[in-house]
Each structure stands twice: as structure tokens, then as C-alpha cells.
Amino acid sequence: MLSQCLLHHFSRVNMSGLKVWSRFSAKSRDGTVLKLRIEDMPEDRIEDVTKLLMTHYAPEESLHKGSGVPKNPEAMAELLKLYKESWNEKPHQITICVSDDETDTNSELLGASLMVLETKEEAFKEITYDDANTEEIKKFLEIMKCLSAKYNVFEKYDLDEFYDGRGVVVLPKCRGLGIAQEFFRVRRLMCKEHNIPMTGAWMTSFGTQKAAIRDNWETVCEMNTEDFEKEVGVKFEKVPPTCIFMIARGE
């Protein structure tokens, strides 16, 4: 079992020219101190990120599970196609967490955080699911469409650009280290450095809600989960009593 993050932080550019956003240490319950870092994803690690998403994020995330996507291999294949199409259509910011111990030759991916740069013009384009092949993906996109209509940051804050959070995933064996919280901190740093005024996301799990709260993200919209279940006709498993939309400003 692993315990909370101990200390951190600074950022610099590594030898490959990619940004290292954070270095921090975390202590496991057996007393081992682990050195970790969060950095921009190298292009040659996109398949590692994809594998992490399909192995741990898609099967566990509440909206995917509620839609039944993980239970249907065809739906999972279609989800993978949607991921890849999305990465090609819009600018994504993907950061990864890896070991920062020079003696650790294992470059295993411990976690990943995904954001997409949304613009006011693109944000108002309606989510469609007519072309979806599986019923599970149709339901998933229907849920996403309903959720996205609940809170519009562009209207609320008169924004032109916004970093929309598209998921945080951490290997099960590494949960409890504070990696998710550090990913949220890095998202704020990226906003500041890239001159993007704000980032935000719907937090639909206990883990992401706790991590964002610990990093002082602001709750700007809260929705009763049972009411949302009735609206979309789905029963979610092991979810918080409310879904919350949280933001962090690039200040």
C-alpha cells in the first residue's frame, strides 16, 4: 500500500526538450521513498498512454461503466478509435508520471493526465452520436452531451480558450501517492505558462474530487448524482452523491 505525497516541486526542460513540470517524492507504507516526476508526454509514448487508458481508465471510469462500454469488446474498440480521432482533431496536452530515480531503469508509465484546448467556436459544436456503431458508445456520447450542457465556462466567464480536462489515470499500485493531486497542480501551471485563463472538468469519482479539492480547485457547479442518473437512464456504480464541475485559474 502507498501513502501520500511528501515533497516537491520545480520545473525545467529535460534533455529531449520536453518540459519536466514537477519532481516530487512519495513514501510507501513500507517506508520506501519513491522519486517521481511529471513531464510532457514524448511522442513515442502515446501507445503507452493509450494502453493505460484502455486498461485502467475506460474500465473503471463511472461514465464509461454506466454506459456498459467495458463489457462490450466492440464498444471498447470503438472507444479507442474515438480517443485517437480526438487527439488528431484538437490540440491535446498530455502529461505523464514516471520514476525520477536514476537507478530505476524501468520506464513504466505510472499515470497520465489529458487536457484538450477548447475554443469558444469549437465548444458550441453539438456532440453527435448518430454515427456510433455500438449501443454502448451511443449511450456514452449521449451522457457526455447531457453533462456538457450542464455548465458552459465560455458563457460564465467570457472565455475564448479553455483547457478542458479529459481524464486522469493512475496505476492501481501507485494510487495513494498523491500523483492525481500533482497532475491537477500541473494543469494549473500549464494554464499559467501557456496563457490559458482557466482549466476545469467534471469530477465524477471520489478520487478525482478529493485530489482536486486538496489542490484548492474551486467548485462552481454541483449536481445530484441520482437526479442525473434518472435524466440519462443509467445507474452508476460507486460514485459520489454529487457530480461537481471544478475549475482552476492560471494565475
Please state the domain extents for the chain.
44-92+113-249
pLDDT at 128: 66
In whole angstroms, give the CA distance from residue 67 to residue 6.
Answer: 37
Cell numbers given for 210: 478529493
pLDDT at 1: 33
Label the pairing between strands 161-170 and 92-99.
Answer: unpaired
| pTM of the predicted model as reported, rounded to 2 decimal places | 0.90
Question: Which of 239, 199, 86 is closest to 78 using CA atoms?
Answer: 86
In whole angstroms, give the CA distance from residue 203 to residue 239.
Answer: 10
C-alpha dist (Å) from residue 166 to 24, 79, 163, 238 = 23, 14, 9, 20
* CATH fold label, 44-92+113-249: Aminopeptidase (3.40.630)
* Count, residues in the chain: 251
Amino acid at 251: E
Tens digits of pLDDT across the chain (251 residues): 334 444 444 444 444 468 999 999 998 878 889 999 999 999 999 999 999 999 999 999 999 999 999 999 999 999 999 988 888 877 889 999 999 987 666 689 999 999 999 998 877 665 666 678 999 999 999 999 999 899 999 999 999 999 999 999 999 999 999 999 999 999 999 999 999 999 999 999 999 999 999 999 999 999 999 999 999 999 999 999 999 999 999 87
In whole angstroms, give the CA distance from residue 126 to residue 106.
Answer: 43
